């Protein structure tokens, strides 16, 4: 089940679920205004009924009975992250949280307290996750390697992305461990179309892209390192999310104590189609 299919990321993920041949739940929790304004939606020719907040409790009970082994995928809004996670956890339904933002520490605490398994990650793209994990390993093995260097971080996303990239935040944390004092406030967030085009974002992908650049410069400016990952479209995230859902379903089926996983766990298990 994908919440919310009215959003571009949610819709792309729902299409990826169908492409993968998985049993797709034709319901989607959404905001009350979306349910009224949009009505039902279609995903790859499948009608999907939108469920408003006032109806989600009763709908959840019906869905749990109708779809044993239900897994929820969340691509809603940053402002809804914590409330949605508490609702899924209280309902005893494992979920994949692909939505960024919200209070992440509270998110982890609430899910752990409820005893529900989940995949929670700020980044669902397989190769980007591998890059992010590589940076974390570098930081773990070579702490302070870039001490004294200056860091410049630029992240460009479509205008509708209201929060700072969770991936950028995670990579910045690795650079901090590598010896560079850098605040998240220093991340340059680009949402202006003209600037994005000048950065190389194709016009066709202004509405859906992720261009990140991390540039490090030595104190005397004689040495520079640059790490970059540019993504056009949403397919890389949608496909990775499907892998995460399959991974989570397998873990739940195996039994054992509930756990919170991330996409690195999915990568390490080789659970990537």
Task: Please list the active-site residues.
Answer: 157, 161
**Bridge partners, 73 (sequence order):** 2, 96
Quick one: tokens of 5? 């299919």
Quick one: tokens of 113? 């307290």
Reported residue count of the chain is 273
Q: Which residue has the tokens 């659970």?
A: 271
Task: Give per-residue burial for 182-213: e unless 16+ CB within 10 Å, then b.
Answer: beeeebebbeeeeebeeeebeeebbebbbbbb
How deeply is 222 buried, as exposed, middle or buried, from its count of CB atoms within 10 A (0-12, 13-18, 19+)? exposed
Whole-number Cα distances in Å, 151 to 2, 49, 146, 187, 226:
37, 47, 10, 10, 10
Contact 124, 245 (CB under 8 A): no
Per DSSP, 85 falls in state H
């Amino acid at each position: 089940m994908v919440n919310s299919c009215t959003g571009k990321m949610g819709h792309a993920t729902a299409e990826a679920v169908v492409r993968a041949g998985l049993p797709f739940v034709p319901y989607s929790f959404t905001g009350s205004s979306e349910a009224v304004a949009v009505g039902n939606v279609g995903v790859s020719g499948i009608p999907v009924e939108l469920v408003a907040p006032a109806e989600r409790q009763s709908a959840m009970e019906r869905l749990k009975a109708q779809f044993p082994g239900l897994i929820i995928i969340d691509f809603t809004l940053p402002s809804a992250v914590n409330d949605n996670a508490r609702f899924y956890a209280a309902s005893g339904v494992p979920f994949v949280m692909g939505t960024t933002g919200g209070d992440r520490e509270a998110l982890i605490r609430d899910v752990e307290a409820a005893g529900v398994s989940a995949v929670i990650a700020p980044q669902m793209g397989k190769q980007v996750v591998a890059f992010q994990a590589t940076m974390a390993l570098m930081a773990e093995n070579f702490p302070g390697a870039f001490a004294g260097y200056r860091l410049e971080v630029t992240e460009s996303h479509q205008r509708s992305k209201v929060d700072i990239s969770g991936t950028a935040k995670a990579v910045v944390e690795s650079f901090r461990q590598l010896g560079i004092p850098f605040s998240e406030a220093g991340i340059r967030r680009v949402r202006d179309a003209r600037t994005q085009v000048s950065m190389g974002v194709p016009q066709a992908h202004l509405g859906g892209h992720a261009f990140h650049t991390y540039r490090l410069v030595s104190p005397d400016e004689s040495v520079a390192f640059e790490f970059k990952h540019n993504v056009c479209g949403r397919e890389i995230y949608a496909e990775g999310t499907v892998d995460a859902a399959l991974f989570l379903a397998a873990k739940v089926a195996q039994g054992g104590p509930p756990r919170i996983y991330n996409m690195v766990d999915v990568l390490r298990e080789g659970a990537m189609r």
